């Protein structure tokens, strides 16, 4: 448990996993564990953020991230307002700057933004006094997804990360989830393997702190966890993947390949899953799969993030009982 007396969260915003120290990370995950206890009670609401306002500004589609930020804020008694591209003046050509300034004029405490452009969250963070949380920006970063993945693995691995091996499988080139997870899990001493067709590996991957495997059978051998990634067809140029059935034959995580991993291997997927394309249905429904634990962890982790960004700026340090 982080030392409550000496610890101080100093970040106005959460834009990236890079900015988190080991101490921030441990404190945030410990806090999320406390919120998870609250989430399992019959009455799940605490008054901690009463009077605070959280705006969910999601310019890209989302099921899990948007809903869980909304649930997280409401469980802490904050008021939430959602704004998307459709139904907003972005559709009438309003700039991100003007939309941001308009939202700020309503004096929110936190704005969670999801945007297709890398750097959109950082742009708002520099422009606005509200705390900005990056809910996913282009290919760049998705810090709360990496935090909830880490939280799920921490539970599965009883907080022993060092020397464990995680395979990230699939469309890594277009994945903000992969980038944020690699940064965070390397800090905890997890070895990372990547496996993808050459066209779905990021440029410059040879400089990343990972091992790259072209074949799934060798990549999955003895790993402690596999993170399957969705093919980000909406971000791909034509021609990167000429044949989806060939892709699934070579890179879909099925029972046969999972049998090559460590016996108690865990399977993660940020969702939404394409069953039969990157993950076999039988694997998605198997006891190895943590997908629904990840969703539950998402609420607790986002409660911790909202708490730290608001209450700790005002000098409160402890989660409510
Ligand atoms: C991911 C995202 O949007 O980056 N999903 C999520 O947040 N749960 C991954 C994806 O869309 O494939």
> How do residues 216-265 score in pLDDT, each as one tens digit?
999 999 999 999 999 987 777 766 776 889 999 999 999 999 999 999 99
Per-residue confidence band for 37, with pLDDT thresholds at 50, 70 and 90 = very high
Query: Is the model more confident about 240 or about 3?
Result: 240
pLDDT at 71: 98
Q: Which residue has the tokens 């799920």?
A: 152
Q: Is 143 in the pocket of ligand 1 (CB under 6 A)?
A: no
Average per-residue pLDDT in the chain? Answer: 93
Q: Is 320 in the pocket of ligand 1 (CB under 6 A)?
A: no
For residue 7, pLDDT over 90 is answered with: no
Q: Which atom of ligand 1 is nearest to the CA of 135?
A: 7
pLDDT at 90: 79
Q: Is 142 in the pocket of ligand 1 (CB under 6 A)?
A: yes
Q: Is the pTM of this model over 0.85?
A: yes
Query: Is the model more confident about 231 or about 283?
Result: 283
| Mean pLDDT, residues 11-40 | 96
| Mean pLDDT, residues 50-63 | 95
> How many A from CA of 63 to the centre of ligand 1?
9
pLDDT at 315: 62
Per-residue confidence band for 321, with pLDDT thresholds at 50, 70 and 90 = low
Mutate which of 272, 294, 302 for ligand 1 pocket (most atoms within 8 A of beta carbon):
272
For residue 316, pLDDT over 60 is answered with: no
**pLDDT tens for residues 146-185?**
999 999 999 999 999 999 999 999 999 999 999 999 999 9
How much of the chain exceeds pLDDT 90, in percent?
Answer: 86
**pLDDT tens for residues 175-230?**
999 999 999 999 999 999 999 999 999 999 999 999 999 999 999 999 999 999 99
Q: Is 177 in the pocket of ligand 1 (CB under 6 A)?
A: yes
For residue 20, pLDDT over 90 is answered with: yes
| Mean pLDDT, residues 14-40 | 97
Q: Is 145 in the pocket of ligand 1 (CB under 6 A)?
A: yes
Q: What are the DSSP E strand ranges found in the chain?
A: 53-58, 79-84, 110-115, 131-137, 165-169, 191-195, 211-213, 225-228, 266-268
How much of the chain exceeds pLDDT 70, in percent?
Answer: 94
Q: Would strands 79-84 and 53-58 be described as parallel, antiparallel, or unpaired?
A: parallel
Q: Which of 45-49, 262-266, 294-298, 310-314 has the lowest mean pLDDT?
A: 310-314
Q: Is 152 in the pocket of ligand 1 (CB under 6 A)?
A: no
pLDDT at 2: 46
Q: Is 176 in the pocket of ligand 1 (CB under 6 A)?
A: yes
pLDDT at 59: 94
| Mean pLDDT, residues 13-23 | 96
For residue 296, pLDDT over 50 is answered with: yes
| Mean pLDDT, residues 3-18 | 86
Q: How far apart are CA 130 and CA 189, in angstroms?
A: 33
Q: Is 271 in the pocket of ligand 1 (CB under 6 A)?
A: yes
Q: Which atom of ligand 1 is nearest to the CA of 142?
A: 4
> How many A from CA of 27 to the centre of ligand 1?
25
Mutate which of 145, 176, 232, 302 for ligand 1 pocket (most atoms within 8 A of beta carbon):
145
Counting Cα atoms < 13 Å in the Cβ hemisphere of 99 gives 25
pLDDT at 1: 42
Contacts of 226 (CB under 8 A, 6+ apart): 166, 167, 168, 169, 220, 253, 258, 261, 265, 266, 267, 268
Q: Is 136 in the pocket of ligand 1 (CB under 6 A)?
A: yes
Tell which residue, 177, 186, 191, has the closest CA to residue 146.
Answer: 177
Counting Cα atoms < 13 Å in the Cβ hemisphere of 159 gives 6
Give the SS3 label for residue 165: strand
């Amino acid at each position: 448990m982080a030392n409550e007396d000496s610890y101080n969260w100093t970040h106005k915003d959460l834009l990236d996993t890079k900015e988190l120290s080991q101490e921030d990370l441990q404190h945030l995950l410990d806090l999320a564990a406390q919120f998870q206890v609250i989430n399992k009670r019959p009455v799940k609401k605490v008054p901690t953020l009463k009077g605070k306002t959280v705006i969910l500004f999601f310019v890209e589609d989302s099921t899990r991230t948007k809903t869980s930020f909304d649930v997280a804020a409401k469980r802490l008694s904050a008021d939430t307002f959602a704004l998307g591209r459709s139904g907003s003046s972005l559709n009438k050509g309003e700039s991100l700057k003007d939309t941001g300034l308009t939202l700020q004029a309503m004096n929110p405490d936190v704005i969670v933004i999801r945007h297709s452009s890398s750097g959109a969250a950082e742009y708002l963070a520099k422009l606005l006094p509200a705390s900005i949380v990056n809910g996913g920006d282009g290919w760049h970063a998705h810090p709360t997804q990496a935090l909830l993945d880490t939280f799920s693995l921490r539970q599965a691995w009883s907080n022993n990360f060092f020397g464990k091996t995680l395979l990230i499988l699939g469309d890594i080139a277009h994945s903000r989830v992969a980038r944020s997870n690699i940064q965070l899990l390397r800090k905890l001493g997890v070895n990372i393997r990547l496996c993808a067709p050459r066209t779905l590996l990021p440029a410059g991957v040879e400089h990343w702190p990972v091992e790259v495997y072209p074949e799934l059978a060798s990549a999955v051998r003895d790993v402690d966890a596999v993170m399957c990634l969705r093919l980000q067809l909406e971000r791909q140029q034509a021609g990167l993947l000429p044949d989806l059935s060939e892709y699934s034959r070579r890179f879909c995580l099925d029972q046969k390949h999972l049998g090559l991993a460590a016996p108690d291997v865990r399977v993660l997927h940020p969702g939404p899953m394409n069953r039969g394309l990157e993950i076999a249905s039988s694997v998605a429904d198997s006891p190895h799969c943590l997908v629904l634990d990840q969703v539950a962890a998402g609420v607790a982790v986002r409660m911790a993030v909202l708490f730290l960004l608001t209450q700790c700026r005002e000098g409160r340090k402890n989660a409510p009982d």
